[in-house]
Amino acid sequence: MELLLTNDGSHTLHHPTLNETYHSKFGAIEESKYVFLEKGLGDYLNNLTNYGQPTISILEIGYGTGLNALLFANYAIGNNIKLHYTGIDILPLSEAILTQLNYSEIIPLHTTDLFQQLNLAAWNAKTIVNDYFEINKIQADILEFDSSIYLESFDLILMDAFAPDKQPDMWQNKLYKDFFYLCKPGGVLVTYTAKGTVKRGLMEAGFLVEKLPGPPMKRHMLRATKPLQNETF
Ligand SMILES: C[S@@+](CC[C@H](N)C(=O)[O-])C[C@H]1O[C@@H](n2cnc3c(N)ncnc32)[C@H](O)[C@@H]1O
């Protein structure tokens, strides 16, 4: 695994077999912040009609470096929001790789060792990181994952698998149906790709899909919402 610098100065990793990077080369942090934090969590919170202090449940497909988890944990602390974060990955990265990533130097963190805390959180166990953030990193193959205990459990799904042309198995219609089943009514899935087959697959699974402007140098991204009963856009 090779460490690369992206255009915003943050690191990504290059996967040698797939010849693919973990994030956009135009800016790893910028992409994650825009696609997942702003267009995912930020907009979801803005649209909440219940202004209490709910706990938001998040599922990430492809935990990878933990950059999304770090951004979400930091946001939770800064905004006094409780997040339960579940991240699935088939192949967790080693500590030797994770400690080389420069995210803690670039992101203004509310807790300086937050990235280290996430990295040290055990796999296949729930870890309460602080008053605002609980994480459950699950080592599993999403293609064989028994999701039946998670029926309508998640407010937000972050679909951050490798690109559809690199790993087509991760973008099959059966998975979109699983994601639909995993989302709460009104729940949202966001992903960085706007590929037509992905859009159509998500729609066929029952989601209402929007094509949104993309992060730097990418034209579009997708946001898919599971309708509340009888809801249409
Ligand atoms: C694009 S990278 C994820 C980037 C990550 N979200 C980050 O911020 O670093 C895709 C991830 O999907 C994981 N992955 C690949 N196949 C998988 C599978 N069948 N089930 C679960 N995870 C898988 C890879 O190990 C990799 O970490």
Q: What atom in ligand 1 is closest to the CA of residue 91?
A: 25
Confirm if 221 and 191 have CB atoms less than 8 A apart. Answer: yes
Give the amino acid at 163: A
Q: Given a cut of 60, is residue 232 above it in pLDDT?
A: no
Ligand 1 centre to CA of 6 (Å) is 18
- Please tell me the predicted confidence (pLDDT) of residue 139: 97
Which residues, judged by CB distance below 6 Å to any ligand atom, belong to the binding site of ligand 1? 22, 32, 62, 64-65, 67-68, 88-91, 141-143, 160-162, 170
Percent of the residues in the chain that have a pLDDT greater than 90, as a whole number: 87
225-to-39, 105, 106, 183 alpha-carbon distances in Å: 12, 34, 32, 9
For residue 189, how many other CB atoms are within 10 A of its CB?
26
What's the average model confidence in pLDDT over 173-195?
Answer: 96
Ligand 1 centre to CA of 162 (Å) is 6
Give me the chain's average pLDDT, please: 94
What's the average model confidence in pLDDT over 169-192?
Answer: 96
Confidence of residue 50 (pLDDT cuts 50, 70, 90): low
What's the structural domain count of the chain?
Answer: 1
Residue 55: partners with Cβ closer than 8 Å, 6 or more residues away? 82, 83, 84
Ligand 1 centre to CA of 75 (Å) is 22
Confirm if 29 and 107 have CB atoms less than 8 A apart. Answer: yes
Q: What atom in ligand 1 is closest to the CA of residue 162?
A: 1
188 within domain boundaries: yes
Range of the domain at 192: 27-225
Confirm if 96 and 104 have CB atoms less than 8 A apart. Answer: no
1 within domain boundaries: no
232 within domain boundaries: no
Ligand 1 centre to CA of 10 (Å) is 18
Q: What atom in ligand 1 is closest to the CA of residue 64?
A: 27
Per-residue pLDDT tens over the stretch 175-184: 999 999 999 9
193 within domain boundaries: yes
Confirm if 221 and 189 have CB atoms less than 8 A apart. Answer: no
38-to-32, 96, 150, 197 alpha-carbon distances in Å: 9, 30, 25, 24
157-to-15, 37, 50, 97, 181 alpha-carbon distances in Å: 23, 11, 20, 26, 11
10 within domain boundaries: no
Query: What CATH number did the domain enclosing 134 receive?
Result: 3.40.50.150
124 within domain boundaries: yes
135 within domain boundaries: yes
Ligand 1 centre to CA of 230 (Å) is 34
Per-residue pLDDT tens over the stretch 63-108: 999 999 999 999 999 999 999 999 999 999 999 999 999 999 999 9
Residue 205, φ and ψ in degrees, nearest 5: -75, -15
Give the global pTM.
0.95
18 within domain boundaries: no
Nearest to 100 by CA among 119, 117, 87, 86: 119
